[in-house]
Structure 1
Amino acid sequence: MTAIHAEQLELRPLPAAAAAALITDRNGAAAIIGAALPQDWPLDDLGDILPILASADAEPAGFGAWVIVERDTNTVVGDAGFLGPPGEDGIVEVGYSVLPDHRRRGYATAAVRALLDWALAQPGVGMVVARCDPDNVGSIRVLEAVGFRRTGEVDGQLAWARGRSPAR
């Protein structure tokens, strides 16, 4: 799986070997990822699932975790990805996180837009969904900016969806 270029960013798939190295050997993980790793990365969402990513069979190409790398500095600024391949209903769920020092620069919007475009071009994918906390104004703006529409609430979070054509 090759990287996806998104404005000033590059999204790189996170291989199982890098996930394993992040648990015990950050220098090894940096070498596998091919970028500098800030001390505060990964945040809890990705950090909590590293053992699963490290031991799991590879997701079908691209439907796992991606690392968001700032091209000018070759530094990891966050991560994004899917919770797995599309189900029989053609739906995939996207998630994303940008390090606090790199927020409000358009990185989340660029990364989500790139992954959304990639996913909707894959066979078997008809819709991408996302969730965010109701008080996460930044995430709400990201999802609106890339054409998601709000579909309701699930477990106290706002639910969003985007099909092959941007929602209006």
Structure 2
Amino acid sequence: MILKTDRLILRNYEPADWERVHIYGSNPDFSKYEVWGPNTLEDTKKFIADMVEQSKASPRYKFEFAICLKDNGLLIGGCGIRRETEMSQVANLGWAINPDFQNKGYATEAAKALIDFGLDQLNLAVMYATCDTRNIASFKVMEKLGMKRVGMIKGHLEIKGHKRDSYRYELPKS
């Protein structure tokens, strides 16, 4: 499965992708708002193996994609759209961009492709995303996508030994 934008190709993960993913996945600063990370080499290889296996599921209701630059194929991040079940009309969105490629609009562009896929191919009624309330860059992407903040979830996640609050943003089908 491949989704294309003006500057990006979103494709299924491949076994060799672990090297590029590990560059940012092992970075402690990069994962400070996430329940995962920083990844060990084994963590990253397992993630890639799991994503490759997940892409073979049939029927498929979770889609995780490597984000690659269209002009040279370089993997710069990952994104996903995940329904809870095969029949669900609600899905969670997520993205991660290597810090070397942030602040260039790639997260917004990739997430927009996921939204279009969710509406056109999966016939979703609602897409949502959550982020740590301190992760300004992430919720700014959600706002650029037209998602609306619908709430704050107190103590939603335990991250690095501390309870964290999360914002939830939603985009209903119009």
TM-score (norm 1): 0.74
Q: Specify the alignment match of 1:53 in structure 2.
A: 51
Please state how far the C-alpha of 1:95 moved relative to its aligned partner.
Answer: 0.8
Describe the superposition over 1:1-37 as per-residue Cα deviations: whole angstroms up to 9, x where unpaired. Answer: 2x111121111123xxx3xx3xxxxxxx25xx9xx93
Report the 3-state secondary structure (helix = DSSP H, G, I; strand = E; otherwise coil) of the residue aligned with 1:125: coil
Please state how far the C-alpha of 1:55 moved relative to its aligned partner.
Answer: 4.7
TM-score (norm 2): 0.72
Report the 3-state secondary structure (helix = DSSP H, G, I; strand = E; otherwise coil) of the residue aligned with 1:37: helix
1:80 aligns with 2:89: no
Please identify which structure carries the higher strand content.
Answer: 2
Report the 3-state secondary structure (helix = DSSP H, G, I; strand = E; otherwise coil) of the residue aligned with 1:40: helix
Instruction: Give the one of 144, 160, 165 matched to 2:169.
Output: 160
Tell me, yes or no, if the aligned pair for 2:24 and 2:99 is still in contact at 8 Å: no
Q: RMSD across aligned C-alpha pairs, in angstroms?
A: 2.8
Equivalent-residue separation in structure 1 for 2:58 and 2:82 (angstroms): 9
Equivalent-residue separation in structure 1 for 2:50 and 2:149 (angstroms): 30
Q: How many residues align?
A: 148
Q: Specify the alignment match of 1:26 in structure 2.
A: none
Please state how far the C-alpha of 1:90 moved relative to its aligned partner.
Answer: 1.2
Equivalent-residue separation in structure 1 for 2:9 and 2:61 (angstroms): 14
Q: Specify the alignment match of 2:20 in structure 1.
A: 37
Q: Equivalent pairs: percent with the same residue?
A: 24
What residue identity is the alignment partner of 1:37?
Answer: R
Please state how far the C-alpha of 1:84 moved relative to its aligned partner.
Answer: 3.8
Equivalent-residue separation in structure 2 for 1:38 and 1:13 (angstroms): 13
* Greater Cα offset, 61-70 or 136-145: 61-70
Please state how far the C-alpha of 1:130 moved relative to its aligned partner.
Answer: 0.3
Equivalent-residue separation in structure 2 for 1:62 and 1:79 (angstroms): 17
Q: How does 1:1-168 map to 2 (within 5 A)?
A: 1=1, 3-14=2-13, 18=14, 21=15, 29-30=16-17, 37=20, 40-42=23-25, 45=36, 47=44, 49-56=47-54, 58=57, 60-61=59-60, 63-84=62-83, 90-154=89-153, 155=156, 156-165=165-174
Cα 1:145–1:74 change in 2 (3 A) is same
Give ranges in structure 1 of 5+ residues lacking alignment: 22-28
Equivalent-residue separation in structure 2 for 1:146 and 1:49 (angstroms): 27
Cα 1:90–1:74 change in 2 (3 A) is same
Tell me, yes or no, if the aligned pair for 1:127 and 1:163 is still in contact at 8 Å: yes
* Greater Cα offset, 94-103 or 65-74: 65-74
Give ranges in structure 2 of 5+ residues lacking alignment: 37-42, 157-164
